[in-house]
Homo-oligomer: A and B are copies of this chain.
Amino acid sequence: MPRAGLDPAAVAAAGAALADEVGLPGLTMGLLAERLGVRTPSLYKHVNGQDDLNRRIAALALSEAGDAVGAAVQGYAGRDALAAAMRAFRTFVLEHPGRYAATIGVEPLAPDDPIATASLRLLGSFTAVLRGYEIERSDVDHALRMLRSLCHGFATLQSGGGFQWSADVDESFEWLIAFADRGLRAL
C-alpha cells in the first residue's frame, strides 16, 4: 500500500474544497477520505476528528479571506477601498460558502492560534479601510463591528438563499456599500 503523501494541511485543503462543493453539513469523514483516495480512519493520523478538521478549515478560510481583502484594498483609499474590501469579502463568501461556514462559531483556543492571527489580519484590512475616513478613535470598534455585521449578514443571507423577493442582489450590495460609505463619511 503506497503512501498517499497526506499531511494536516492537505487534508484541511481538501476538506475546504469538499465543503464548498457539498456544503459544510455534507462534509463527512468518509466522503473526504474517499476524495483523498484513502480509508476513513486514516484521516485521524492527520487531524484530530471533525472538530479539529473544522478548525483547520476555518483557519484556512480566514487566511484566504484576509489575503483576498488585503489584496483588493491595495492602492485604494476612502470609498474605493471600502468598496473593494466589501466586494472582495462577499465574493469570497459566495465562492467558498463551505469553508466560510466553518469559520462561524469557532473561537481561538490560544493567542497564537492560527485562527486568531488570521482573524486579526482580516480585521486589520478593514481597520486600514477605516483610516481613509475621519473617525473618532472611540468609534473605530463600533464601525468595525458594523461593517462586519453588514458584510457577514449580507453574504450569509445571500448564500443561504435568504433573499427571495424581486430586487437585484448585486444592486442591493452596491447600495449597501454606498450607504456605509455615506454613513462613515458623516461621522
Name A residues whose Cβ lies closer than 8 Å to a Cβ of B: 104-105, 107-108, 119, 139, 141-142, 145-146, 148-154, 156-157, 160-167, 171-172, 175-176, 179, 182-183, 186
Contact = CB atoms under 8 A, between A and B. Distances in A.
A104 B175 contact: no
Given A107-B164, A157-B152, A161-B105, A145 B176 contact: yes
Complex copy number for this chain: 2
A107 B150 contact: no
A182 to B, nearest CB: 6
**3 closest pairs, A vs B, by CB?**
A153-B153, A149-B153, A141-B167
* Residue in A107, A139, A142, A165 with the greatest tally of chain B CB atoms within 10 Å: A142
A148 B142 contact: no
Nearest to A176: B146
Contacts of A164: 107-108, 119
A171 B144 CA distance: 13
B104 A172 contact: no
A150 B149 CA distance: 5
B151 A107 contact: no
Nearest to A104: B160
Contacts of A119: 164
A104 B165 CA distance: 16
